[in-house]
Chain A
Amino acid sequence: MSAALLAPDSEEEVARAVAAAAAAGEPLAIEGNGTKRALLRPVQAARTLSTRNLRGITLYRPQELVLSARAGTPLPEIEAALAEKGQHLIAEPPDTRALFGAELPATLGGVVAANLSGPRRIAWGAMRDHVLGVRFVNGAGEVIRSGGRVLKNVTGLDLCKLLTGSYGTLGVLTEITLKVLPAPESTGSLALRVADLAAGVRALSAGLGSPFGPTGAALLPQGAPAFGLEGPTAVLRIEDFAEPVAYRLGRLRDLLAPLGAPRLLDAESSRALWRMVREAGLLGATAAEAVWRVSVPPTAGPAVADALRAAFAARLLLDWGGGLVWVAGPATEAAHAAVMAAARAGGGTWTLFRAPEPLRAAVEVLPPEPPPLAAIAARVKAALDPKGVLNPGRMRAGA
């Protein structure tokens, strides 16, 4: 492995390595700490280029709400620096060590390349919404910048968004600038036992359609026994200064009164519960199983869940007001087909998030694009990676 693993510690070396690979026509697998190697399709490449040695925060201006760091910086290092100034990462990306059984923490580059966002997505936007600037090495080995270090910027095409969520197939991220925000002074949640998932989504919609600004809206089909929550439970979270948190939880409780009497979770148990939602820990997925992510309009979430439970022994977790359905189940093509069908019927999209290699290699891990878009995608890939050396086959077979 070591001979096949390149882990340069400067951007120039990354550029040289990619340029050499392009010249030789030898593809590279791109990774950070490799915690998500089990994500999407296995890459066909003899050598791996890791950005794990590109480390360190290069700029942090709390009063301007911006932070820049090299792509290999471990997420916990960034979170600690922010916490010291009372700030946090807006998109609440999951720490997936438990889920993936990984020892190393995710890197900033990996989280951005996977556009991973947690529960706060519903209120404050996705990872991609907060990537203000990137530096990356394209497939020809050129260093390219897009965006910058200011909050508002429409100069030229927005390659930050294109690179975010491109899973290392369009460029190797070397440095990323994020918008960050003050961490809330306080938090609290309301947990409401509901009759079924449809009733749960109605409760979440009532909260999300109110002026009280929930920053988390999840539906736990099996509850969360560790928190004394049994049976299907809808949970709404408020984060802000202490007084408004107390006030808004009270108003939400009044709003939900016709649907039942919610339980109040204090700041501490609220934080613990949302950590489990964020890490999809409540799914309890084993290594032999597959994990899918289905994104649909929130009101379609319950029908997706029903269809999947009818098709196989699906374990579910609904976030984002019901619109994000995490699914764990057997890593079979039949289960995969059921997920695709349910997502399509719900008017949304799906990702085979994690699975043992045989399934990932055998099926599509992302929905196919309509032909006109697939043609554009192939040309965009060629525009950034003309020799096709970056992560071939990661997102789609042959691309």
Chain B
Amino acid sequence: MIALPPPKPEVLARREAIVAALRAIVPGEGVISAPVELKPYETDGLTAYRQPPLAVVLPTSTGQVAAVMRYCHANGIRVVPRGAGTSLSGGALPLADAVVIGLMRMNRILEVDYDNRLAVVEAGVTNLGITAAVAERGFFYAPDPSSQLACMIGGNVMMNSGGAHCLKYGVTANNLLGVKFVTVEGEVVEIGGRHLDAAGYDWLGLITGSEGQLGIVTEVTVRILPSPEGARAMLAAFRSIEVAGAAVAAIIGSGIIPVALEFMDRPCIHACEAFAHAGYPLDAEAMLIIEVEGSEAEQDMLLGRIRAICGRFDPISLRVARTAEESAAIWKGRKGAFGAVGRISPDYLCMDGTIPTSELPRVLGRIGEMSRAYGLQVANVFHAGDGNLHPLILFDANDPESTRKAEAFGADILRLCVEVGGCLTGEHGVGVEKRDLMGVQFLPHELAQQRRIKGAFDPDWLLNPSKVFPLEGEGAAPAPAARAA
């Protein structure tokens, strides 16, 4: 387990006064301090870590967020921002001496501007809520993480979340125009706006994916896009991982960029098939789901070409959807993949490294060896177009030895991703989970450089501390004692 910094005793001692001060800023139900009511906030999507916070505050306006920040800053109180709490890396995990600022009550869509193709929404609007608001006019918000029903746009910005369609449409960072940003001192600034490419430094780019380290986002201006005329998927199953990988390379090499290109290995195919009965070929070592967009004729043309390419790789089966229903049937197993794996194992860890796509056979081979050595099963889902690998490690959380092994196995996989030229995290973020592995990817002076930039926004390290950056090392967070309020 990963260490959290010791709480500041002087803050813990002032708990009642802090809660009273927060109540003066956010009246009514907006401040939570009773231990039983804090329970839902003690963890996020990485449920192995739990820690109730000092208090939770649920502001309803940017003004309230700014006032809370001014108060916490003046009093040296740590702050953990929170959206829906679906982070899989422990990014929203509270600290014992921290106030959690939950953005979920800021859930209004403020404006939709179809002529300029943008929407202005509060940070607590869900990802799917944006698309739902613009769908009637034939628009959508492109990044579509699997958690899109629950996760919030503020959380998406802070994790730079991706989705199944990011090969074509990009990740969150590529779909933003501006944010309203509250600094650690409680100042409100507009970053970007309703236009492309703000002049000066790219603050929007730096803030996106910063995991709550630099400030709090209260409003987001996103680009919305017209929906394609239609989309259809096909399934291609192969005899080996190498062959499936070669087929992926051949598709990309032919000049086609599918909107989605998903890879599943044998254990994953079996788990999904048992769960969803999607008709997946159980004798395959690897399976691809490939989706294209456009008019009917364009879909036919692209699927025809991809089918022909896959045909050169001795496929076990090729299934091209003719209708939206057949397409949904192909996707059904993949969309339920995490749930399916959840049914065959009491618990699983979802890893999230990225590798150069050409390294897939080697990496999956090594993961297979590790799986045997650790005695833990693993199922692999892979965004094959962009190299983002999600190994699901099956373990039993009630067995401490199994848990310890699963964490060690996960860390070994991420080390392997870096070793072959990839990175520790493609979309789930560093959080607490990968914090202590940052030294695998970065040299000490590079981490020190990142810490100095964090410190430029948050000199006292009050914002979401103990995440992302290892606690030890050059330029580490100031020790609490040196920063007593």
Contacts and interface: CB of A to CB of B under 8 A. Distances in A.
Interface of A: 61-66, 86, 115, 117, 121-122, 125-126, 128-129, 138, 142, 144-146, 148-162, 164-166, 170, 181-183, 185, 205, 208-211, 213, 241, 243-244, 247, 295-299, 320, 323-324, 347-351, 366-367, 369-370, 372-373, 376-377, 379-380, 382-384, 395
13 contacts: A121-B197, A128-B202, A146-B446, A154-B160, A165-B202, A166-B202, A182-B255, A209-B115, A209-B117, A349-B195, A372-B183, A372-B185, A376-B457
A151 B386 contact: yes
A155 B174 contact: no
B252 interface: yes
Interface in B410-456: 421-430, 434, 438, 441-442, 445-447, 449-450, 452-456
A39 B345 CA distance: 60
Given A64-B249, A64-B387, A295-B197, 11 more contacts: A152-B427, A155-B425, A155-B441, A157-B210, A164-B202, A166-B201, A166-B202, A209-B226, A296-B194, A323-B116, A379-B455
Interface in B263-321: 294-295, 297-298, 301-302
Interface string B383-405: 10111100000000000000000
A298 B195 CA distance: 8
Given A61-B356, A295-B199, A128 B421 contact: no
Interface string B176-217: 000000010101011101111111111111101110010000
Interface string B149-187: 000000000011010001100110110000000010101
B358 to A, nearest CB: 6
A167 to B, nearest CB: 9
Contacts of A182: 252, 255-257
B197 A384 contact: no
A234 to B, nearest CB: 14
A210 B204 CA distance: 27
B421 A158 contact: no
A379 B205 CA distance: 17
B127 interface: no
Contacts of B205: 128, 158, 160-162, 164
A244 B117 contact: no
A383 B452 contact: yes
B468 interface: yes
Given A115-B202, A211-B138, A126 B196 contact: yes
A117 B450 CA distance: 27
Contacts of A155: 423-425, 430, 434, 438, 441
| SS of B interface (majority) | loop
B252 A63 contact: yes
Contacts of A161: 173, 202, 204-206, 208
Given A350-B199, A383-B455, A181 B358 contact: no
Interface of B: 113-118, 138-139, 159-160, 162, 166-167, 170-171, 173-174, 183, 185, 187, 189-191, 193-206, 208-210, 213, 226-229, 249-250, 252-253, 255-257, 294-295, 297-298, 301-302, 354-358, 383, 385-388, 421-430, 434, 438, 441-442, 445-447, 449-450, 452-457, 459, 468
Listed from nearest, the 10 A-B pairs whose CB atoms lie closest are A161-B205, A379-B456, A182-B255, A372-B187, A383-B452, A151-B386, A152-B426, A63-B249, A348-B195, A150-B354
Given A138-B449, A154-B426, A243 B202 contact: no
Given A152-B427, A154-B159, A320-B196, A64 B202 contact: no
Q: Which of A129, A164, A351, A383 has the most CB of B within 10 A?
A: A383
B388 A380 contact: no
Contacts of B468: 156
A158 B206 contact: yes
A153 B426 contact: yes
B445 A144 contact: yes
A297 B429 contact: no
Contacts of B170: 125, 129
Nearest to B468: A156
A370 B428 CA distance: 32
Contacts of A150: 354-356, 386-387, 421-423, 426
Nearest to B252: A63
A154 B88 CA distance: 13
Given A145-B442, A150-B355, A211-B226, A158 B173 contact: yes
B200 A367 contact: yes
A125 B210 CA distance: 20
Nearest to B211: A154
Given A205-B115, A369-B200, A142 B449 contact: yes
A244 B295 contact: yes
A349 B198 contact: yes
A323 B196 contact: yes
Q: Which of B115, B138, B185, B295 has the most CB of A within 10 A?
A: B115
A299 B423 contact: no
B362 to A, nearest CB: 14
Nearest to A372: B187
Nearest to A163: B202
A145 B205 CA distance: 17
A154 B116 contact: no
B189 A370 contact: yes
B160 A158 contact: yes
Contacts of A128: 202, 205
A144 B450 CA distance: 10
A347 B210 CA distance: 27
Contact of B201 (A152, A156, A210, A377): A377
A299 B187 contact: no
A115 B199 CA distance: 10
Given A181-B257, A367-B199, A244 B206 contact: no
Given A299-B115, A349-B195, A383-B452, A64 B201 contact: no
B253 A157 contact: no
